A and B are shown apart, each in its own frame.
Chain A
Amino acid sequence: MDQTISVTVNGRSFERSVEPRLLLSDFLRHELGLTGTHVGCEHGVCGACTVLLDGVAVRSCLLFAVQTDGRDVATVEGLAGGPQALHPLQHGFWEKHGLQCGFCTPGILMSLVPFLEENPDPTEEEIRELLSGNICRCTGYQKIVEAVQLGARLIQEKSA
């Protein structure tokens, strides 16, 4: 039977009653209307569905919504902190053409956020290693790497 959960998403709290089998990705997209989180494989490989759970990057297609009860979720919609704004990392992607179809992009951005907090100045190899958990079928990754390098710089400039 349905279970009631309360979860904070992008700083807003929600209380919803959900089926225990409802995936977190479906909950975010279809119950809360946060469709920026994408689903590419439903089996944990592509990384398109990556969101932050208590600050840690997780694959929302591998979690049930009920597992987030009492916890904090962040999605791409909350990244910039305003509807017309862009996060410095998003600026990096825009400048460097780090996206084509853009389907993989939200998941990549969310994987990068905690990574860049821990590695504010990563090497190309570190960036590539992190990115290897996300599949992009359009770009060949080169411009994503450049985008991350620029994004990391912009984040530092902003916090400086």
Chain B
Amino acid sequence: MSTRQFGQPIKRNEDPRLLAGRALFTDDVHLAGMLHVAFLRSDLAHARIRSIDLGGAKERPGVAAVYTADDLGEYWQPGPLLVPPPPVEQLEFHPRTQVPLAKDKVRHAGEAVAVVVAESRYLAEDALDDIFVDYEPLDAVVDLEDALKSGSPLVHDDLGHNINARGTQTKGDWAQAEDAADLVIRRRFHYDRGTAAAMENRGIVASWDDKSQQLTIWDTTQAPIAIRNGLAGMLGLSEHQVRVIAPFIGGGFGPKIMMFYPEEVLLAWATLQLGRPLKWIEDREENFYATTQERGQVHDATMALKNDGTVLGIKDVFLHDAGAYAPYGLTLPISSQCTLLGPYVVPDYHSEFTSVFTNKPIVTPYRGAGRQHGVFVMERLLDIAAEELGIDPISIRRKNYIQPDQFPYSNEIIFQDFTQLTYDSGNYEPALDRALELIGYQEFIREDQPRREAGGKRVGISVVSYIEGTGIGPYEGARVTVEASGKVSVATGVGTQGQGHYTSFAQVVADQVGVAASDVHVVTGDTDLFYWGAGTFASRGAVVAGNAMHAAATKVRDKILKMAGEKLEAAEEDLELIEGRVQVKGVPQTSISIGELAVEANPMRGAVRPGTEPGLEATEYYGPERGATASGVHAMILRVDPETYLLEIEKYVVVHDCGTVINPLILDGQIQGGVAQGIGNAFYEQLHFDENGALLNASLMDYLLPTAADVPNIVSDHMETPSPLNPLGVKGAGEAGAIPVGALFAQALDNAFRDIGLEVREIPLSPNRLFELVTEASARGNA
């Protein structure tokens, strides 16, 4: 295997099992004597619990237990704050985190109030109907601005207001920028909530074995190690008594890394009480309430510019919808704040946010995680400014790009990983040029569009840029072991939810150890096989765990060469690793297999020399000093049906730079999937809450996910500006596809309706909403 596997479009190791229906997902775990759990959830978004009458639930045949908050005693505790407040000066911060079961008061529709354990899920759900909760309905906090008015109902009464946090970050001096400006643009932008809607809902199987004193949990989580540590602490067990397995996961996208979901806390506790294994699988309706969501923000943004389009500064004041509880601290608003600056030079920046509690489901990061909002505001401001200044949208971007010689580029504010926001590397114009070429920008503007418009069609084009901070710390680790068979096993703590880690990690290791990627067996997400780690989030798997893999594999390579050098009586520099064997360069007759070396490295007799370790194995950790900055340009041509306001995406281009590419097949898949979610977010998916905080479209019938008929083929190209921060040069790619799509839709629609001066300032849209906006714009035009 002399060809490099890193960088090749190798098909995935994990696929045969998945294709044959033999991969283990959480709901596939079946244990003898297993009981099933169902949760009674509040229909009301905001209400005081006067009393709970269990009725005949406990006596119903097949029911093993019924619990409410009172039964949990001391175990009832609000969840931990997952991310402490960042070191931003004069931050106001009022953390409130979720509880295992509501006590006294429910704060969002779907909050769990009671739990039933029974012989089957069917019986458990029957018993839910026996329970009567006497609620005193309270006015709900739904709208972000209303939440801040005096006299608003309160989500957390003890706070006396609905503010979760308030913070300001600045760079330079905004007032100066405003004074020096030829043009100042002011606009309000709305971004509303959606849900990640992974195809697999959440689920947990928890099993306490009294004889071995071991608790085993299968959990659809993106962070098994953190779950183990937390649950062990809460239950008073040693971490070694708790094993958390994140088996195959049917899509994560962020919400599967919330900690701790009430269901996790409860099942782990209840299996200890009952001494029997328990299973809870979320149903789709529960998923709409009980799994976290994201994206509600309102921005009042101002941009100061010179007549030639040079951006002088931005002031942005925004509200962020935290939902009923905020376990993630300020991760999201900080991410929006930082991502807004994009690939542009913005000398003066003033950004001020207020994170607001509402009676809606909990908000935690969902693919993109606050970045969509920042990109939307920035790109819209540039579009609007270009329009007012009479420059084209491409030139204004070009004019303001950070130049290649300006890296590392510091934006002086604090990023979500608590380091100063510094872009490690980037080269933006080539990506822009490539995107323009691939979309056929000039031909479209000059020929196609006028011709088709003359024929009565409505078509628009758009091009937007973005950057993405990826691959943040703290760290991940990996252990690489050569087995006697000559195959290689690799273990790491990050979980995997479809990103192809089994294969991309194998590729990283394979080259070092000199075997085929298909001979590298990767284990992820089992706390008994790897003890340390943080989790899969913020597009960090490939960057952080990938570099740990690389470090461990390099060390194993050194061990192999050292041993083989002694055996073959050759200098290490003269050896090469090919197809699982070590040989003196060009002399295959001399070779020895790494499997044989592995056996010899673990001798049954004699002594391993002091100072050496048995086995061909190494464990290494990697912790990036700060994140690696990926970037990209998306472009689109859109046709609007003049009758139905349905959209057809005629062409979609992505030019993406995520540094060195490990597997282009997997990368394309990540980008395409991200864009599909972005399209859903821009034009199909919106959670509609009424004034009482009730969710009106909690089913896949009413909440529209894009289908194969809605998502176009994507033309993509990759630029490679390797990250100087890590040995592999990789940057994360998991979220990039999804981030700029809202901004792209808005610009294309404005372009298609430029005759009536349409200015889209909100996402998500829908055919109805677009029709309303167009009608309003025409009325304004005619007035």
Q: Which residues of A are in contact with B by a Cβ distance under 8 Å?
A: 19, 21-22, 29-30, 33-43, 45-46, 48, 75-77, 79-80, 83, 86, 90, 93-95, 97, 99-106, 109, 127-129, 131-145
24 residue pairs A–B, Cβ–Cβ below 8 Å: A19-B122, A29-B28, A34-B21, A35-B24, A41-B284, A42-B283, A45-B699, A45-B701, A48-B199, A86-B16, A90-B16, A93-B19, A99-B15, A99-B18, A100-B499, A101-B251, A102-B18, A102-B498, A103-B251, A109-B19, A131-B708, A137-B677, A141-B672, A144-B708
14 further interface pairs, Cβ-Cβ under 8 Å (given A86-B19, A95-B11, A139-B676)? A29-B27, A35-B21, A40-B700, A46-B199, A80-B20, A97-B11, A97-B12, A101-B251, A128-B708, A138-B673, A140-B714, A140-B737, A143-B669, A143-B672
Whole-angstrom distance between the Cβ of A134 and the nearest chain B Cβ:
8
List of A residues within 8 angstroms of B50 by Cβ: none
User: Given A75-B21, A128-B708, A131-B708, A35–B200 Cβ distance below 8 Å?
Assistant: no
Question: Are B498 and A100 in touch, CB under 8 angstroms?
Answer: yes
Question: Are B708 and A145 in touch, CB under 8 angstroms?
Answer: yes
User: Given A29-B27, A45-B699, A145-B708, A139–B672 Cβ distance below 8 Å?
Assistant: yes
List of B residues within 8 angstroms of A141 by Cβ: 672, 676, 707-708, 711
Whole-angstrom distance between the Cβ of B727 and the nearest chain A Cβ:
27
Please tell me if B131 contacts chain A, counting CB pairs below 8 Å: no
In Å, the complex CA distance between A137 and B685 comes to 13
Contact of B669 among A22, A36, A97 (CB under 8 A): A97
Question: Are B27 and A39 in touch, CB under 8 angstroms?
Answer: yes
Question: Are A97 and B122 in touch, CB under 8 angstroms?
Answer: no
User: Given A94-B12, A135-B707, A100–B21 Cβ distance below 8 Å?
Assistant: no
List of A residues within 8 angstroms of B674 by Cβ: 140
Please tell me if B109 contacts chain A, counting CB pairs below 8 Å: no
In Å, the complex CA distance between A103 and B16 comes to 13
Measured CB to CB, the nearest residue on chain A to B251 is: A101
Measured CB to CB, the nearest residue on chain B to A44 is: B701
Please tell me if B201 contacts chain A, counting CB pairs below 8 Å: yes
List of A residues within 8 angstroms of B14 by Cβ: 102
Whole-angstrom distance between the Cβ of A110 and the nearest chain B Cβ:
10
Question: Are A106 and B21 in touch, CB under 8 angstroms?
Answer: yes
Question: Are A94 and B711 in touch, CB under 8 angstroms?
Answer: no
Question: Are A140 and B250 in touch, CB under 8 angstroms?
Answer: no
Q: Which residues of B are in contact with A by a Cβ distance under 8 Å?
A: 11-12, 14-16, 18-25, 27-28, 30, 122, 196-201, 248-251, 253, 283-284, 497-500, 665-666, 668-670, 672-677, 699-701, 705, 707-711, 713-714, 737
User: Given A97-B665, A103-B200, A140–B676 Cβ distance below 8 Å?
Assistant: yes
Question: Are A21 and B122 in touch, CB under 8 angstroms?
Answer: yes
Whole-angstrom distance between the Cβ of B519 and the nearest chain A Cβ:
17
Whole-angstrom distance between the Cβ of B91 and the nearest chain A Cβ:
35
List of A residues within 8 angstroms of B497 by Cβ: 101
User: Given A39-B27, A43-B701, A140-B714, A100–B708 Cβ distance below 8 Å?
Assistant: no
Question: Are B711 and A102 in touch, CB under 8 angstroms?
Answer: no
Contact of B250 among A29, A102, A134, A142 (CB under 8 A): A102
Question: Are A38 and B20 in touch, CB under 8 angstroms?
Answer: no
Contact of B711 among A101, A104, A140 (CB under 8 A): A140
List of A residues within 8 angstroms of B16 by Cβ: 86, 90, 94
In Å, the complex CA distance between A104 and B705 comes to 14
Whole-angstrom distance between the Cβ of B488 and the nearest chain A Cβ:
22
List of B residues within 8 angstroms of A38 by Cβ: 25, 27, 199-200, 250
In Å, the complex CA distance between A129 and B735 comes to 27
List of A residues within 8 angstroms of B30 by Cβ: 30, 33
Measured CB to CB, the nearest residue on chain B to A94 is: B15
List of A residues within 8 angstroms of B11 by Cβ: 94-95, 97
Question: Are B705 and A142 in touch, CB under 8 angstroms?
Answer: no
Question: Are A43 and B700 in touch, CB under 8 angstroms?
Answer: yes
Whole-angstrom distance between the Cβ of A119 and the nearest chain B Cβ:
15
In Å, the complex CA distance between A136 and B708 comes to 8
Whole-angstrom distance between the Cβ of A112 and the nearest chain B Cβ:
12
Question: Are A102 and B673 in touch, CB under 8 angstroms?
Answer: no
Question: Are B707 and A131 in touch, CB under 8 angstroms?
Answer: yes
List of B residues within 8 angstroms of A94 by Cβ: 11-12, 15-16, 19
In Å, the complex CA distance between A102 and B250 comes to 7
Whole-angstrom distance between the Cβ of B392 and the nearest chain A Cβ:
30
User: Given A94-B11, A97-B669, A142–B714 Cβ distance below 8 Å?
Assistant: yes
Contact of B198 among A36, A42, A129, A137 (CB under 8 A): A137
Contact of B700 among A30, A41, A133 (CB under 8 A): A41
Q: 9 smallest A-B Cβ distances: which pairs? A: A36-B21, A103-B250, A101-B498, A102-B18, A140-B676, A140-B672, A100-B498, A131-B708, A35-B28
Whole-angstrom distance between the Cβ of A90 and the nearest chain B Cβ:
4
Question: Are B250 and A43 in touch, CB under 8 angstroms?
Answer: no
Contact of A137 among B251, B670, B710 (CB under 8 A): B251
List of A residues within 8 angstroms of B28 by Cβ: 29, 35
In Å, the complex CA distance between A77 and B18 comes to 11
In Å, the complex CA distance between A46 and B666 comes to 24
Contact of B199 among A19, A109, A135, A143 (CB under 8 A): A135
